[in-house]
Amino acid sequence: MNEKLKIKLSIADRVYPLTVNPSQEEAMRSASKKIDNMIKQFEENYAVRDKQDVLAMCALQFASQLEQKNVDNAIDGTESIERLAKINDLLDQYLK
């Protein structure tokens, strides 16, 4: 019973009709609200002449946040592997 939902999202004063899985609806609506909030912040803080410029700034902001999380996770993953290797070595020494 995986029926798709037809929803309409408003971003930057434009309506976008989408077809999504029911499990995606909440995330899509939340993302739409975050984009609109970010647009308002950029418009209030910067002299922006065009919505396309604001949308590009939003895209850059979200993409850089995602990339930073990927970098942070890669670093954290390396540290975790190193810690697990040390624990494994300690267990090997203990069990011998």
Which tens digit of pLDDT belongs to each residue from 71-94? 887 777 777 788 888 999 888 888
pLDDT of 77 reads: 72
Quote the Cα angle for 28-7-5, to 5°: 95
pTM: 0.69
Q: Is 23 helix (H, G, I), strand (E, B) or coil?
A: helix
pLDDT of 1 reads: 55
Rounded Cα distance between 42 and 92, Å, is 56
Categorise residue 9: left if φ over 0, alpha if ψ from -120 to 50, beta otherwise.
beta
Flag residues of the chain having pLDDT under 70: 1
Bridge partners of 7, per DSSP, are 18
- Residue 33 Cα distances to 27, 58, 71, angstroms: 10, 12, 26
pLDDT of 96 reads: 75
